[in-house]
Amino acid sequence: MTLPIQVLSPLDGRYQAVVSPLGEYLSEAGLNRARVTVEVEWLIYLTNHSMFGTSPLSADNVSALRALVTDFGQAEIDELARLEATTRHDVKAVEYLVRAKLSELGLDHIAELTHFACTSEDINNLSYALIVRDATKNIWLPALQAVIARLRELSVQYRDEAMLAKTHGQPATPTTMGKELAVFVYRLERIQKQVEGSEYLGKFSGATGTFSAHLAAEPEANWPKISEEFVTSLGLTWNPLTTQIESHDWQAELYTRISHANRVIHNLATDIWTYISMGYFRQIPQAGATGSSTMPHKINPIRFEN
């Protein structure tokens, strides 16, 4: 018997309810919306600067183009899927979606500026930077801040709750539960500040990072300056020197910091497990919950108390 359609990852299965807010940004639809953002804003930038014989668009046309982003929904998702079935190219499908909007607005005369001098990486690297930035700032950081706030609250609540510390597994000097939790508050706050200070870099310099097509089209323009202005207008940090691709060092830095935070929280979990095993905390059973196959049902924990 064939199974019903199944998700491939626990992130879309048992943990879907926890991670679903990230789908607003990190899903394929979120990425495509960001790609539309970059394509639309590049068109607006070019026309605002009257490049290639154009003139600034009317406020109504600018609003209508940006509505392709703000109103991005199921209709656009479906249309991009239809276009990509023919193009076999996700970025090209986005370009065609934007061109169709231009035609709808009677702006066919600037259609050829859509995706002007861009390699797919120009669109993609900026789009990834946008969605990772927004997911980090709007979803991940608030979740981390909530963890820190709760730990700070508990550290104050239990600041006078004495407990015997151990070193090398042996009894050592006294401490308090509040102090031990405050250790994690301090560690996580340092990482929070590092993540908050992260840069999100973007390049916009053509097929090999040399502005070749740009210079061929308009030799007199200051393309590095234009590139910097456009990238920073998106709220990103300009990367002036790249190959075809943005080097992604900022991603390695950010993901290392996020991994570090996860590791600190894992340390907290193992410490709490140790306190339970030493009898400092008592596990509180939940009806119907089971743990290990060899763990008696009656001591399976979900919460703890001291």
168 tagged catalytic:
yes
Contact 92, 59 (CB under 8 A): no
Name the one residue in this structure whose structure tokens are 């609003």: 63
Which structure tokens are listed for 5? 């359609």
248 tagged catalytic:
no
Q: Which is catalytic among the residues 277, 292, 293, 297?
A: 292
H-type helices in the chain, by residue range? Answer: 16-19, 23-26, 28-48, 59-70, 74-87, 90-104, 120-135, 141-157, 177-196, 212-217, 223-233, 249-277
CA dist., res. 77 & res. 61, Å (int)? 22
Helix axes 28-48, 223-233, angle to 10 degrees: 130
Q: Which is catalytic among the residues 63, 120, 168, 247?
A: 168
Query: Residue 216: what residue type?
Result: A
- Per residue, the 3-state secondary structure of 202-261, as one string, reads ECCCCCCCCCHHHHHHCCCCCHHHHHHHHHHHCCCEECCCCCCCCCCHHHHHHHHHHHHH
Looking at the annotation, which residues are catalytic? 168, 292
